[in-house]
């Protein structure tokens, strides 16, 4: 296992370098100037804008700027935000907890819904429960997050006045009151992301369980007289989860993209809203850092999926 992980991490290094080159080149050649407002402002002397561009090396060749950025990243310097006037790593660390909390909670809720519903639908195919679950699943992944978010706001915030529709980071108080307020303001964004993922994962779980249920070793296990619960849990579900693990692991980085919409709707001060505001302001250091982190997450969760394969399927050996 250790040699396998070390080899995969070494393979990830050139992949990350290639991704960083492409990202940096695209952002460098993209239209827009982070100091464009200074150039159009008559109250700011032209030499001020020129001095800022020289300080941050924006007029240097792209290759030189990339090498400078790579060297700084290796030393733990993620750059300086032109808009927020602070270090990029500090800015990201300020926004990261809210995003991780919303995404992590939504994925736990999605799994708690998708696994039992998908398994029970496959164990009782074409039953009333299966038909209802399939109908709700089709509705769930057909509705985009922005529509579901607005629908939740209209229902639970405006009509019923149960939940706040603006996420706040300055909630006062402590103890149970603070946890209750956090739960109320997080309920809708977590539900929006969870329902979208749960609908998709339920279909995958059902399909995978149905496929495994038809295999010969499952028939043999039933012929031996094993209880149906043991057959389902030990022989069917564990093997059926292998393709589901691939889906969940590979969709985790994409959730940050889906969180962008959700964070904009509920005004969550997370990574998604930071990326949108940085794109609108041409804040290239922040854009580069956030997109590079997402690329690292793709490689990390691919590695995590491969490791989980070996745990779920003993036939897989790490070599």
- The tens digit of pLDDT for each residue in 95-114 reads 888 888 888 888 889 889 98
- Residue 78's closest CA among 229, 287, 317? 287
Which 3 state secondary structure label does DSSP give 292?
A: helix
CA distance to 24, 55, 97, 254, per residue, from 285 (Å): 10, 14, 20, 21
**CA pair distance 90, 56, nearest whole angstrom:** 18
Confidence grade of residue 36 (pLDDT, cut at 50, 70, 90)? low
Average pLDDT score over residue span 270-290:
83
Angle (nearest 5°) at CA 262 between 172 and 143: 140
Tell me, what's the pLDDT at 37?
59
Cβ atoms of 119 and 237 closer than 8 Å: yes
Q: What is the pTM of this model?
A: 0.78
pLDDT in tens, 211-246: 888 888 888 878 888 787 888 887 788 778 777 777
Instruction: Specify whether the CB–CB gap between 167 and 267 falls below 8 A.
Output: yes
Contact 271, 101 (CB under 8 A): no
How much is the average pLDDT of 107-127? 88
């Amino acid at each position: 296992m250790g040699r396998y992980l070390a080899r995969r991490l070494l393979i990830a290094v050139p992949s990350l370098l290639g991704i960083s080159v492409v990202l940096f080149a695209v952002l460098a050649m993209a239209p827009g100037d982070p100091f464009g407002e200074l150039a159009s402002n008559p109250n700011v002397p032209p030499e001020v804008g020129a001095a800022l561009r020289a300080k941050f090396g924006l007029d240097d060749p792209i290759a030189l700027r990339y090498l400078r950025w790579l060297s700084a990243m290796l030393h733990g310097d993620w750059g300086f935000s032109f808009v927020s006037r602070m270090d990029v790593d500090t800015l990201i660390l300020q926004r990261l907890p809210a995003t991780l909390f919303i995404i992590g909670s939504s994925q736990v809720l999605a799994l708690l819904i998708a696994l039992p519903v998908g398994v029970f639908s496959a164990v009782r195919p074409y039953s009333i429960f299966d038909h209802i679950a399939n109908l709700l699943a089709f509705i769930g992944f057909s509705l985009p997050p922005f529509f579901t978010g607005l629908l939740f706001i209209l229902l639970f915030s405006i009509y019923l006045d149960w939940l706040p529709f603006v996420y706040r980071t300055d909630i006062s108080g402590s103890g149970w009151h603070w946890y209750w307020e956090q739960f109320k303001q997080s309920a809708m964004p977590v539900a929006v992301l969870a329902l979208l993922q749960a609908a998709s994962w339920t279909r995958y779980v059902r399909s995978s369980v149905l496929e495994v249920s038809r295999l010969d070793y499952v028939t043999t296990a039933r012929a031996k007289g094993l209880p149906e619960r043991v057959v389902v849990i030990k022989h069917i579900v564990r093997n059926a989860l292998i393709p589901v693990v691939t889906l969940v692991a590979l969709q985790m980085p994409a959730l940050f993209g889906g969180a962008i919409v959700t964070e904009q709707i509920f005004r969550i001060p997370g990574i998604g809203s930071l990326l949108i505001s940085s794109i609108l302001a041409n804040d290239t250091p922040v854009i580069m850092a956030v997109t590079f982190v997402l690329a690292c997450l793709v490689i990390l969760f691919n590695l995590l999926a491969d490791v989980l394969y070996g745990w779920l399927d003993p036939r897989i050996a790490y070599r």
